[in-house]
A and B are shown apart, each in its own frame.
Chain A
Amino acid sequence: GEDVEQSLFLSVREGDSSVINCTYTDSSSTYLYWYKQEPGAGLQLLTYIFSNMDMKQDQRLTVLLNKKDKHLSLRIADTQTGDSAIYFCAETSNNNDMRFGAGTRLTVKP
Chain B
Amino acid sequence: DAMVIQNPRYQVTQFGKPVTLSCSQTLNHNVMYWYQQKSSQAPKLLFHYYDKDFNNEADTPDNFQSRRPNTSFCFLDIRSPGLGDAAMYLCATSRGRGLYNEQFFGPGTRLTVL
Seen from chain A, the residues whose Cβ lies within 8 Å of a Cβ on chain B are 4, 8, 30-31, 33, 35, 40-45, 48, 88, 92, 94-95, 97-98, 100-103, 105
Q: How many residues of B contact A (CB 8 A)?
A: 24
How many Å lie between the Cα of A90 and that of B40 in the bound state? 15
Please tell me if the beta carbons of B98 and A95 are within 8 angstroms of each other in the complex. Answer: yes
From A92, A100, A101, A105, B101 is in contact (CB under 8 Å) with A92
Q: How far is the CB of A1 from chain B (nearest CB, A)?
A: 11
- A102 and B108 in contact, given A30-B99, A95-B98 (Cβ under 8 angstroms): no
Please tell me if the beta carbons of B99 and A42 are within 8 angstroms of each other in the complex. Answer: no
Among residues of B, the one whose C-beta sits closest to the C-beta of A102 is B42
Seen from chain B, the residues whose Cβ lies within 8 Å of a Cβ on chain A are 4, 6, 33, 40-43, 45, 48, 90, 92, 97-108, 110
In the complex, what residues of B have CB within 8 A of residue A44's CB?
A: 105
Among residues of A, the one whose C-beta sits closest to the C-beta of B57 is A97
Please tell me if the beta carbons of B40 and A101 are within 8 angstroms of each other in the complex. Answer: no
In the complex, what residues of B have CB within 8 A of residue A8's CB?
A: 40
In the complex, what residues of A have CB within 8 A of residue B43's CB?
A: 43, 88, 100
From A41, A48, A100, A102, B102 is in contact (CB under 8 Å) with A48
How many Å lie between the Cα of A51 and that of B100 in the bound state? 11
Among residues of B, the one whose C-beta sits closest to the C-beta of A92 is B101
Among residues of A, the one whose C-beta sits closest to the C-beta of B91 is A42
From B48, B99, B105, A43 is in contact (CB under 8 Å) with B105
Among residues of B, the one whose C-beta sits closest to the C-beta of A45 is B102
- A97 and B48 in contact, given A42-B107, A88-B42, A103-B40 (Cβ under 8 angstroms): yes
Please tell me if the beta carbons of A33 and B45 are within 8 angstroms of each other in the complex. Answer: no
Please tell me if the beta carbons of B42 and A41 are within 8 angstroms of each other in the complex. Answer: no
In the complex, what residues of B have CB within 8 A of residue A35's CB?
A: 105
Query: What are 16 A-B contacts defined by CB distance under 8 Å?
Result: A33-B102, A41-B107, A42-B4, A42-B90, A42-B107, A43-B43, A43-B90, A43-B105, A45-B103, A88-B42, A95-B97, A97-B48, A97-B97, A100-B43, A103-B41, A103-B42
